Amino acid sequence: MIDVRVAGCVALLVVWTGMRGIHAAPLDEAAERYRPYMIEGIGDALAGARALRERAAANDLVGARKAWISARAGWERSEVFTAGFVPELDAQIDAWPNADSGFHAIEAKLFGAGRTDVEADAAALVAHLDDLHGKLADMPLMPRGLLDGTVRLAYEVGESKADGGESRISGTSLDDMRNNVAGIDFAYRTIFAGVLKAADAGLADTVASRIEQLNTIVAASDLRHVDVRALRRTSEELVIALQAASTKLGLPRPTLEAQSR
């Protein structure tokens, strides 16, 4: 006699496999529509990092700070991808709070100490971004990894950044959050919204509503006026909704642990 538990697991696997088969092609096609956005974001980060290196070498503190902010914006918009596919590189480029390289090591010197002696860190940042940018056109984009990255970034916005954010020295933490939410919004609408709407319109509306609420919260005039409790609560609700959506999408349930895809 077949163990009831084994039979149940087999049945669930068959159901999941069937759902994955139904949604695989639309999601794979949608992931390809995300690729130009990803390339553009990392390209903007790379252009900013190159300008940062040049301005720092010229001892232009104002120009170097401006270039750092520009590079940062491109990176933050792309974190759905970086968190889901290249977490090791993400740690090198955007380690926080104990950063001895990458954006925040440069930030401490440029904005904290008013120094431009960031040649080594700027060169490393350019090298990392240049290497990544060169691989983006051919890198496989798995919907599972993009959903995982979306979930982890949604959690980070509410938990890791709600108490003042990463970029406190430069004063750009609110911009970080805005760019993160913009990245989440674009990834959801481009990749997952259509398939989820067809499978569960109510859940799709819930996800869209939570993203819109995040957009409203981070539209505050400055960081002091961000409703931190609402930010954290909405972030958690979005994570839960996206995790529930994974079943409807035929994808494994996302976790908050970084894994390369």
Read off the pLDDT of residues 138-174 as tens digits, 9 standing for 90 and up: 999 999 999 999 999 999 898 866 566 778 889 888 9
Residue range 198-213: mean pLDDT, rounded: 98
Residue 90 Cα distances to 35, 48, 100, 124, 145, angstroms: 18, 17, 13, 13, 14
Q: Output the six-digit token pair for 149.
A: 């990255």
> In sequence order, which ranges of the chain are alpha helices (DSSP H)?
4-57, 61-77, 79-85, 87-94, 102-107, 119-135, 143-159, 173-187, 193-199, 201-217, 228-249
Instruction: Please give the pLDDT value at position 224.
Output: 87
Least confident piece of the model among 117-121, 124-128, 163-167: 163-167
Angular region, 139: left φ>0, alpha ψ -120 to 50, beta rest: beta
Checking if the pLDDT of 13 tops 50, the result is no
Instruction: Please give the pLDDT value at position 23.
Output: 60
Checking if the pLDDT of 68 tops 90, the result is yes
Instruction: Please give the pLDDT value at position 158.
Output: 87
Q: Output the six-digit token pair for 178.
A: 């805005």
Instruction: Please give the pLDDT value at position 166.
Output: 76
CA distance 234 to 214: 7
Instruction: Please give the pLDDT value at position 161.
Output: 63
Band (pLDDT 50/70/90 cuts) for residue 26 is confident
Residue 235 contacts by C-beta under 8 Å, 6 or more apart in sequence?
154, 155, 157, 158, 159, 162, 214
**pTM across the whole model:** 0.85
CA distance 204 to 253: 16
Instruction: Please give the pLDDT value at position 8.
Output: 47
**Does residue 62 contact residue 167 with C-beta atoms inside 8 Å?**
no
**Residue at 76: amino acid letter:** E
Checking if the pLDDT of 233 tops 80, the result is yes
Residue range 81-95: mean pLDDT, rounded: 83
Number of residues that make up the chain: 261
DSSP secondary structure, 171-231, as one string: T-HHHHHHHHHHHHHHHIIIIIHHHHHHH-HHHHHHHHHHHHHHHHHTTSSSGGGS-HHHH
Residue range 63-71: mean pLDDT, rounded: 97
Residue range 37-64: mean pLDDT, rounded: 97
Checking if the pLDDT of 16 tops 50, the result is no
From the number of C-beta atoms within 10 Å of its C-beta (0-12, 13-18, 19+), residue 66 rates as middle
Q: Output the six-digit token pair for 258.
A: 């970084």
Residue range 42-55: mean pLDDT, rounded: 98
